Structure 1
Amino acid sequence: MVLLSTLLAAIGDHILLAYSALLVSILLAVPLTLLMLYCRPAARVIMPVTNLVQAVPSLAVVALIVPLIGIGFYPAVIAIVLRALLPLVKNTWVGLVSIDPAEIDAANGLGLTRWEILRYIRAPHALPPFFAGVRFAAILANSLAVLTAIIGSGGLGSLVFEGLAGMNTVTLAAGAVPAILLALTVDLLLGRAEQAVILRGIDD
């Protein structure tokens, strides 16, 4: 039997871990993608590195973090950030560059600055793939937040592993079910946010 206070504390820790890591990933991905857009040599470095990290299994990423940084909450955040970066960088990049060159030429012909082209042409075009990347990264962050309990991050993952170790279905479910519900809820909220932002852009 899992106490309600224990469950609520685990949910709070899980939310803090998963979605603070997601926020850090977004704050890193956007400037990295803009750097790739305006500095092609950077693109030839950043994209292969993010692809390489994504190719490494999640458990291996978590395991590699331990000897380099240690265990606990902050190493777990770093592991999640590393895994969540690729879909954010790749989707934002695709949205920014997959524009008809004629549109860019026309904008240059009208005298638009690089910032104005980014603001009025590239950014609106990149919003749908960007949000798709955020939604996928949120799912990754949520699942990794469970896995990183093996390195002492706490949260719902600790209940999952405790239930597995003790063959206790109730404890296992107490960790797994809220994690699933959180993933579904966040995905739904991000979908609503995407619709609101895109519709606002259309109205503007």
Structure 2
Amino acid sequence: MEAFQTFLIEYGDQLLFKSWEHLYISFISIFLGVLVAVPLGIALTRVPKVADKIMSLVGIVQTFPTLAILAFFIPLLGIGKVPAIVALFFYSLLPILRNTYTGVHSLDQGLLDAGRGMGMTQWERIRMVELPLAMPVIMAGIRISTVYLIGWATLAAYIGAGGLGDFIFDGLNLFKTEFILAGAIPTTIMALVIDYLLGRLEERLTPEGIKDATETI
């Protein structure tokens, strides 16, 4: 414990900087994942015959070891944050894509028909009917991806992307527990806090009718 306190005194500024780097890598990756996976998931509900093939392809990428994906992008993008973000972006896709597709595809067809009957355009149905009703399922996928990515982002240190993984790998190489704890503890706290905040955001974005039905069940 004394060694860890000494570490915080000596490396406190670096710890804050590495934590910021870690969040930056994670959030950019998950932002890109949401930007691609949510529209793609909605689009796939219009072409269900193609959906299974796309899901399978994304699922195959998800089975690759994280380090293998990181190493794959080194010849293409070099080392640093860019290949790390791209690799983590691919890892973020499956939970968000699958939950978006499932959430929209499983909606009551009667609600969609009612939207058409009211003269809504396809974009209006997506924005005002499909997305709000599917939001709890979509947010669940985003939460899963975010928590996973915060943990996986520690491996980005292997390719010079920085983040809290630097402390973990330095601790393993130097056999210093305080370095490992300095990387592992903030990573765990980040994952728990972000999961909690996304849970609150999910509650705010969930329509009241769905909340009441869920509480009743």
Give me the TM-score of the superposition, normalised by structure 2: 0.85
- Structure 2 equivalent of residue 179 of structure 1: 187
Deviation string, structure 1 residues 44-90 (Cα, Å, up to 9, x no partner):
55323211111222222222222332211100000110000111111
- Structure 2 equivalent of residue 137 of structure 1: 145
Q: Is the 8 A contact 1:148 1:157 kept in 2?
A: yes
Q: After TM superposition, give the deviation of residue 13 of structure 1 in Å.
A: 0.8
Give me the TM-score of the superposition, normalised by structure 1: 0.90
Any residues of structure 2 matched to 1:73-84 within 5 Å, and which?
Answer: 73-84=81-92
Q: After TM superposition, give the deviation of residue 36 of structure 1 in Å.
A: 1.9
Name the SS for the 2:88 alignment partner: helix
Q: Per the alignment, do residues 196 and 105 of structure 1 end up closer, same or farther by CA in structure 2, a change over 3 Å counting?
A: closer
Q: Unpaired runs of 5+ in structure 2?
A: 1-6, 212-217
Give the whole-Å Cα distance in 2 for the aligned partners of 1:143 and 1:75: 17
Identity of aligned residues (%): 36
Give the whole-Å Cα distance in 2 for the aligned partners of 1:100 and 1:202: 13
Any residues of structure 2 matched to 1:1-204 within 5 Å, and which?
Answer: 1=7, 2-40=10-48, 43=51, 45-199=53-207
Q: Which moved more, 1:56-65 or 1:111-120?
A: 111-120
Name the SS for the 1:3 alignment partner: helix
Q: Figure out how many residues of one structure are paired with residues of the other and give that number.
A: 203
Name the SS for the 1:48 alignment partner: helix
Q: Unpaired runs of 5+ in structure 1?
A: none
Deviation string, structure 1 residues 9-46 (Cα, Å, up to 9, x no partner):
11111111111111111111122223323345653553
Moved over 6 A (4+): 200-203
Name the SS for the 2:107 alignment partner: coil
